[in-house]
Amino acid sequence: MSATSAVRPVLPPDIRARKGGAPLVVLTAYSTPMARIVDAHCDVALVGDSVGMVIHGLPSTLGVTMEMMILHGRAVVRGCQKAMPVIDMPFGSYEESPQQAFRNASRLMAETGAPAVKLEGGQHMAETIAFLTARGVPVMAHVGLTPQAVNTLGGYKVVGRAEEAAKVMADAEAVQAAGAFAVVLEKVPEGLAARITQALTIPTIGIGAGVRCDGQVLVVDDMLGLFTDFRPKFVKRYAELGRDADAAIAAYAAEVRDRSFPAPEHGFPDEVPAKAGAVKK
């Protein structure tokens, strides 16, 4: 058996069993090369619908299609040996009915090979989550700030302060009761996120929800600093690759314009030089 075939991939029951254990590490990935890097260090590679904004330049996630999620989902699955790929269900692909959700979730899994999907919504999506999980579709839930509902929420704001707290708690409890194996808490006040984490028996994965969740997720391009003008409060920059890329591309452009690139060592001569020590006949 090769070293590659011996790697055991993470699956939804493994994530659920991590409740209260070592924190779960989750990052987004949208391509095979990035998935390979994420796979080496993380438990979950989330193919987020954030791909619409990060890769395709859309103003929100609302324009993301099933075809886009399948394309990027396949790429990420190819790059993962250990980390579990989870694919976001795009806006409009699951809200109409549990039956619509099952058709699209099963398509995502069948056409990408991913073992789980993620969808947004709390109590109003509980019936759909139960329908999916009863039919072999593992679901990661998502409550608090749900970006697909940004127009209803009135912006990308913190959700769960004051009178909203009880609703967010009820949403989290509802998705757990419906069968979700984990739940993302986005932009939820730290105290509330801690109370939800303590109340649930499934892992909570925070993004802008404090350190007391069972795990954390970030958009990989944000934490790598690939966007120089986008700095959400909840994102820590672990690198400044956008700045480094800008400097590198500027240097390349300058060298092309002044003809210092390509240099002789980057080209190929008309004749192949004789190897050292070769005897000329």
Please list, residue by residue across 232-271, b when 16 or more beta carbons sit within 10 angstroms of its beta carbon and e when fewer do.
Answer: eeebeeeeebbeeeeeeeeeeeeeeeeeeeeeeeeeeeee
Q: Is 2 flagged in the annotation as binding?
A: no
CA angle, corner 138, sides to 132 and 139, nearest 5?
A: 80
Give residue 28's pLDDT: 98
Residue 265: inside a domain, yes or no?
no
Give residue 232's pLDDT: 84
Q: Is 43 flagged in the annotation as binding?
A: no
Residue 268: inside a domain, yes or no?
no
Instruction: Determine the structural domain holding residue 166 and report its residue range.
Output: 12-241
What's the structural domain count of the chain?
A: 1
Taking only the tens of pLDDT, the chain with its 281 residues reads 444 457 889 999 999 999 999 999 999 999 999 999 999 999 999 999 999 999 999 999 999 999 999 999 999 999 999 999 999 999 999 999 999 999 999 999 999 999 999 999 999 999 999 999 999 999 999 999 999 998 888 788 899 999 999 999 999 999 999 999 999 999 999 999 999 999 999 999 999 999 999 999 999 999 999 987 778 889 999 999 999 999 999 999 999 999 999 999 999 999 877 776 665 55
Give residue 228's pLDDT: 78
Residues 6+ apart with CB under 8 A from 18: 24, 43, 203, 214, 215
* Helical spans, DSSP H, in 10-65: 12-17, 32-41, 51-54
Residue 36: inside a domain, yes or no?
yes
- Phi and psi at residue 191, in whole multiples of 5°? -65, -45
Query: Roughly how many angstroms between the first and final C-alpha of the chain, as a whole number?
Result: 51
Give residue 151's pLDDT: 86
Q: State yes or no: cis peptide before 232, omega within 30 of 0.
A: no
Residue 226: inside a domain, yes or no?
yes
What is the secondary structure of 84-132 as a DSSP string? EEEEEPPTTSSSS-HHHHHHHHHHHHHHH--SEEE--BSGGGHHHHHHH
Compute how many other C-beta atoms are within 10 angstroms of the C-beta atom of residue 121.
20
Q: Is 120 flagged in the annotation as binding?
A: yes
Helix (H, G, I), strand (E, B) or coil at 143: strand
Residue 104: inside a domain, yes or no?
yes
Give residue 280's pLDDT: 57
Residue 272: inside a domain, yes or no?
no
Q: Is 88 flagged in the annotation as binding?
A: yes
Active-site residue flag, 186: yes
Q: Is 49 flagged in the annotation as binding?
A: yes
- Quote the CA–CA distance of 159 and 149 in Å, as a whole number: 12
Give residue 2's pLDDT: 47
Nearest to 120 by CA among 152, 144, 99, 85: 144
Helix (H, G, I), strand (E, B) or coil at 184: strand
| Contact by Cβ (8 Å): 185, 204 | yes
Helix (H, G, I), strand (E, B) or coil at 207: strand
Residue 211: inside a domain, yes or no?
yes
Give residue 4's pLDDT: 47
The CATH number assigned to the domain holding 38 equals 3.20.20.60
Catalytic residue among 186, 240, 255, 265: 186
In this structure, what token pair is assigned to residue 225?
Answer: 């600093």
Give residue 5's pLDDT: 53
Give residue 226's pLDDT: 94
Residue 205: inside a domain, yes or no?
yes
